Structure 1
Amino acid sequence: MNGLEEGVEFLPTMNAKKLEKPNPKHYMVVAAILAVCLVVSLLVGLLVWHFVYKNAPVQKLYNGHLRFTGSRFIDAYENSNSSEFATLAAKVKKMIIDIYKNNPDVGPFHKETVITSFSEGSIIAYYWSEFSVPKLQADALDKAMANIQASNQATPMKLRNPDLRVDTIVAFSTNPETIKALQDNSCKYALHAKEGLITSFTTPGFPNSPYPPNARCQWELRADVDSVISLTFTTVDLEPCKLGSDTLAVYDSLSALEPHAMVKLCGSYSLSYNLTFVSSQNVMLVTLITNGEGRDPGFRAEFFQMPKMNTCGGTLRGIAGNFTTPYFPGHYPPKMNCTWNIEVPRDKNVKVRFHNFFLAEPGVPVDSCTKDYMQVNYVKHCGSKKMFVVSSKTNKIAVHFHSDLSFVDTGFLAEFLAYDSGDPCPGKFTCKTGRCIELKKRCDGWNDCTDASDEVNCTCTEKQFRCNNGWCKPKYWLCDGVNDCGDMSDELQCQCPANNFKCSNGKCILESQKCNGKDDCGDGSDEGDCSSVVTVPCKEYTYKCRNNLCVNKENPECDGVKDCGDNSDEDNCNCGTRSFTKKSRIVGGLDAEAGEWPWQVSLHVGSEGHTCGASVVSEKWLVTAAHCFHDANFARFSNPKSWIAFMGLLDQRDRSNPSVQRRGIKRIITHPDFNDFTYDNDIAVMELDSPITFTKQVQPICLPDSSHKFPAGQVLHVTGWGATAEHGAGAIILQKAEIRVINQTICESLMPGLLTSRMMCVGILEGGTDACQGDSGGPLTSIEANGKMFLAGVVSWGDGCARRNKPGAYSRVPQFRNWIREKTGL
C-alpha cells in the first residue's frame, strides 16, 4: 500500500492544466454565462406561455336578433331554403359584418355569421356569430357584444346597406350546444298556425318509440302578424332531471336566446300540471337537446294563434270584482306591464285578496322581486304564496304587474272587495293580513291567519298550555316529539339528561347503550337507526334476512344497498315504481294522473259500481280491507263472484280504456281476527281469477317487512275514488292527498279507546284533508329510500271525514306482513 491514503489522485505530468492553481475569474465567467442563459430561457418560456398558452385564441359564440326597416316581410322569408331568404340573408349578414368591423374589439376576431330565420316586425333577423379571440381580449369582446346596440347607433350610415336601415341589434353569449342545434337540420321543423285550428306536433316517433339520443331538435312556431301563440304541452315524459339530462325549452323568440327562455323542462309531468305558455309576439321556438343515455317517450304539444292583447289592466269600479294576469290560468307572456286602478264607493275602503299567487322565477329570492312581480302600496310581491290580502286606507288602490323577458309563471287570480273600515270582517275575526276567519278559530293553537295574528295575546284554556312564545296549544301536543310551539318549549321539558338517548316511547337510556345490539328501549328505537349495519340478535324491531340472521338497520329492504350477507334485503324489489315522478279529491285532494298510482285498484260489486279500493302486490294478489266484505242488507259482499277488479283505471267512466285490465276474483281471504265492530285487524287479500300484465299503468306496490317503521311526521299519500266531502258523492277521477303519520299517543288522546296497535293514525290535525267513504281498502303509500314506494297502510275507518283533530285510522301493514306471506306466498 506504500503507506498512502486512499482517495489521493496522482496526475500524469502531461496534464498541465490540472497542475495549475485554479483562477477565480474563470468561475465568474462561467457563472455569468449560465445566468444569462437562465434568464434568456426564462424570458423565452414566459413569452411562449403568454402568447401560446395564456393568450391562446378561444372560441366565442353569440346569438341574437337584428330589427331593420326598408323591406316588407313576405311568406318566402319563412322558408330558409328559398332564394328570397338567401338574398335577404346575404344583405343582413353584410350589415352585421360592417357593424363588427367598425368596432376594434369585435371586427378583427370575427370568423362566421349565419342568418337562421326571419319574422315580422318590421323584419327581425335571427343570427349567430362565431369569433376566435385571444384569451386576454375575451372580456373586451364580451363587453363590446353586450353593448353592440350602442355601438350600432354610433356606426356611420355609409357602412350599412343603402336599402335597409338597422333599428336595433342585440347579441348574447351562448354555448356551442345551442349553435349545434341551430345548425342541425335533421330534426328541425317549421310550423305556422292556421286561423281557427289547433296544430299538434310531437317528438320523433312519439308515442310508439322514444326520441333519438344525442339529438338537437327544434320547432319554429309562427302565427299571423298581430297574433300571439298559445302553446300547451299535453304530455311531457323525458329523462329524469339531473345534471346534463335531456332538456325541453321554450323561447319567446326564433333563436335560443337565454334571456328569452320562457321555461326549461326535464323529467315527467302529470296531466294536471299547467304547461300552457303564451308568446309576446307571433313567434316561438321549442328545442329539445338530448344526451346519449336511456331514452324516454318525449312530448306531445299543440298550439294555436289568437289576437294579441292590446290592453292590460284598466279601471275597475264597484263593490266587488275579479281580475287576473293575462291568459290566466295559463302562463302569462313575457314583457307585460299591467296596472289595475280599483275604486269602490267613497264611504268604503278597498282590499284585494290574491288567490293562486305564482310569480316565481329560477334563482330569484322571494325577498328581492327583481324580475317578475306584483306591486301594491309601493311594496313588491313575488314567489309562490298562499292566499293573502292587501288593503288601502282609502276607497282606491292600484295594483301593478310586471313580467320581464324570461321565465314565466301562472300569475294570479285576485278579487277586490269594498268594506267598512270600522268592521272589515262582520261577525268574524280580522287577521292582520286582512283575511277573515271564524271567531272559534281565534286562539285555538292553529295558524289560520297565515301570519299567526289569530294566535297572539291569547288566554289559554284548561285544555291548553302556554308556549314560551305566548302561543296556546292543546295539551296533548306536549312531549309528542314534534316542535308544535315553534320554539321547542313543548318538548324541552321532555328531554333526557345529558349523555342520555331518548327512545321513541319516551324512555331515557344511556348514550352508550345506543346501537349496542340490545333492545334497551323496549321498542327497538335505540337499535333501529345506527351508522353501521351489523348482525344482531333477532328481535321484533330487527330485519330478518333469508339466512335467518338479523341486521340492525332501519328499513333496509329495497333501498339499493345490500345489507344482508345473502343480499336478500334487495331481492323481490321489482315493485313500487311509477311512470312519472312529479311534482291531493279524497277530501282536500287533487286529481291523480294515469300511471301515477299504478297499484291502485277499483273494486266493483254488482250494480253498486265502485265500492272499495285495493292495492296490486303481485300478478295475482291484491291487498284491501276486510270490512269491504261484510255482508249487509241481503248483499253477499263476501261472495268472490260478486266482485270485479279494475287495474290501471283513472276515470270511472273510462273502464273500457285499453290500458285498463279487468279481472274477476277467485277467492277472498279476510283476517280471521277481524272485528266488524272495532275494525281491528281490518285487512284482507284477494286472489284474481287470472294474472294481470304489468304495464306503465299497472305495477305492484312494495310490501314492507314486519320491522318496517313509518315514524310520526312522515309524509304518506292516500288515493281513492271515495267521497270528496263528508256525506258527499264519490269521485269520478282518482284522487290523491298528502297526509302525515300522527303520534300514536296523540291519536289515542283524540280518539280514546278506539285505536289498537294494529292501526296507524294518519292525517292532518287541522282538518281539510282525509280519506272518506268509498276509499276503504285503498292504499296508504310511503316513498322510501331509492325512490321505492311501500304499502304503509290500508284505508280502514275514521270519525267523519277531514274533521279537525280527527285523523283517519289505517290498518298497519307491517303488523300483517307475516299473515300476508302465509296466505299468498309473497
Structure 2
Amino acid sequence: MAAANEGSQRLRWLSVLVCLVALSAHACHATAIPLSGMYGVLVTPGYPAPYEDDRDLQWLITVPEGFRVRLYISDFDLEPGTMNCDHDYLMVLSGNDTLGKFCGRAGTRDAPGDRSLTSQSREMEVRFHADYSNVHRRTGFRAHYVAEDIDECEERDICNHFCHNYLGGYYCSCEFGYSLHEDNTSCEVHCSGNILEATSGVITSPGYPIAYPRRSDCDWLIRAEAGYVISLTFEDFDVEDHPDVKCPYDALSIKQDDERLGPFCGRQKADWPEEVKADKRIEISFVSDASGANRGFRARYSTAGKPCVALDVPANGVVSVSNTTMGHNATFSCERGFRLVGPAQRTCLASGQWSDSNPVCEVVTCESLVDINNGQVTVDDETLEWGTEAVYYCDPLYELRGSDTRVCQVDGEWSGEEPSCVAICGESRTPPRNPPRRRIVGGREARKNSWPWAARISIRAPNFGIDGIQCGGSLISETWVLTAAHCVTARRTAIFGRVVPADSVSVTLGIHEISDTKGEVREVSEIVRAPSYDAASFDADVALLRLAQPVALTNRISPICVPDADTFRVGSDYSLYEDEEFLEEAVAIGWGETEPGSTSDFLKEVYLPVIDQSTCVESFEGRAQEGYVITDNMVCAGASEGGRDTCFGDSGGPLMLKDRVLERYHAFGLISWGEDRCAQEGDYGVYAKVGNFGTWIRQITQM
C-alpha cells in the first residue's frame, strides 16, 4: 500500500514533466476530476449527446489503503483511429503502466469490449482526448469504477507463517511459541538466555526438525560444576550456507571455555562442528536471516567428572565404589566383629582428591557393666571385645530375675536386658515345724525364725480411737509391709473410716518373742489402702505400709510371696499336706489372743482348713443385719468343730499356702474379722483374699 502512494506521486510528477517537455500538449490542458469514493461514474461531457471537439479530461481515482480500482466501460463510441488511436481516445493508467488505450465504437477492434481494467495500486488515472475535428458525431463513453479489496495473502508471499486478509488490509500471525517481528511479517522465536546445568541434555534449533524460523537469534550456555568435563556432539546439522562466502546468511558459533569456534553452516558431514569438550562452559550462538528453509541442528551434551586417586582399603575392612569421578561416594565397612572409626563415606572432589581421611576398623567392644543392686557381674574377658560373656550373680537371699548371662554382640551392645536381683520370697532358712500329722486343737508356738516375714505392727493414734493397738503383717519387700486395712483405719465415730497418720505406726521385724530387743524397728512413711476398701463391711481389707527406711534381709528377715488371683485354686497342686485329707489346709501366724484378754508372748502358728466359698457364704447367711456379709474379696478358714482360729491381735497377719512345686509360701489371705468369740464350733474366721489385689500391690510397690 505504501508502494501505491509512491506510484501516485510519481504519476503526478510525470504529468508535470510531460507538460514541460511538450510531449503531450493536450494533457497539460486537461481538466482534472478527482474521485475518491468507493465507487463512481465517469462519462464524457453531455453524454449521451455527442461530445465536443478538442477536449481533454482527466479523472484521478483514489480509493482507501488495501483496495485497488476496477474500471468497467459499459458504453463506448469514439472516433475511430489508427492502430495507436491517435485521434480521439480513452487511456487508462496505473502508476507508470498503461492498462489500455481505446478508440472507435463498441464491437470494433480498438474498443475496450466487455473486459474490466484493474489498477495495480489504490490509484487509477483515466484520460479522455478529443481532437479538433470529427467527421461524425460520437456519443463518447460511459464507465463506472468500484474499490476492490486486495487479497495480499493470495497475491504476495508476505507473511512468514500465517496471512489473514480483511477488507482493506491484511495481518500476519505466527505458530505457537513464536512471536511477530517488528516488521509485522516475520516470525521469530525467543531462544536466548538458555542456561543448562543438568548433567546431560539435548539442544535443537527452534522447531527442529521443521525449518527454523527466520530472524532467529538464539544462544545456549552449558555450565558444569568444577571437576566436571562437558562434551558436546552434533547428531544432525543443516544450516543455510553460500557456495562462495563463509556463512553469510545463517550461522552457528561455539565458545569453548575461552576459545571461539566457527562459524558453522552447511549440511555435509564436513560442515558439522566436531566434538567439543570444555572444563567449565560451552556457549552456543545461532542466528538466521530473513530467508531460507533449512531444518537446523540437533546436538547432545553430557558431563562427566574427573576421576579421583585410588583409595587405600583399611585393614579388616572393605571399600565399595562404582565410580571414582567427582561427586560419587566410596563407602567403607568392616568385617564382622570390627567397628568403623571415621567417615563411612568419602566423596570424590573437584580437585581429584577424596574428602576427609581414611577410616580404620577397630575390634568391637561393649561398654563396661556395673554391678547390679544386691548382686554382681563377672566377665570372661576384661577387654570386653565382642563375644565376651558376662555372668550375673545375686547376693544371698536374692534371686536373679532375667537371664544370668549376656554376650557382647557384634553391634557393640550387650544381648538381652539387664537382669535384676530380687528378694527371694516365701522361703525360710529355718524350716517351719512340720504340719501335724493330725489335727491339733488351738495353735502352737512356731519355730524361732521359721516365719521371717512376720511383722508386729503398733498403732498409737488416740485421736483416731486407736491407742496401743497391735496388728500382724507380712514383709513383702525391703520397704513394704502388707497388713489389714482396718488396722490403720480410724474407729472414732466422728472420723470413722479415715486412715490414721503414717507417723503413728511402727513396724517390728525379725522377732520371735514380743520382748525381743534385737528386732528391727521401722517407722512408716506412707499408708496405702486398697481403693475399694469399705471400713463398714471390711470388704477389700488390704493395706500397704511403706517403711521409712528399708530393712536388710537376713536369716531372720525376708519377704513372703504375693499371689495373683489365679495362683491358688483350692484342691490344686498348692497345699501344705500330701495327704488327700488335708489338701485345703493353710497356716496362720500371730501374737494375738490365745484366750480372752491374754496375748501370746511368742509367735504362734495354727493350721486351718480353707473353706469353699459357698460354705463360707452359707455360714453367715441371714446375718447381714449384724454386719456379717461375705464378698468375693473374702475367704473363710477354720475348723467346723472349733478350737482352732485366729483371734484379736492377729489382724493383718498372713494366712499362708505353700506352692508345692516351688516350695514357697504365699500370703493367700490376711486375717480380717470373725465372731466376737474365737475358735467356736461352727464359726469361721474371715480373711481378705490377697490374690484379688496382686496386680494393685505390684503397681504400688513396683515389685
Q: Please, what TM-score do these two structures have when normalized by structure 2?
A: 0.35
Higher strand share: 2
Q: Please, what TM-score do these two structures have when normalized by structure 1?
A: 0.30
Higher helix share: 1
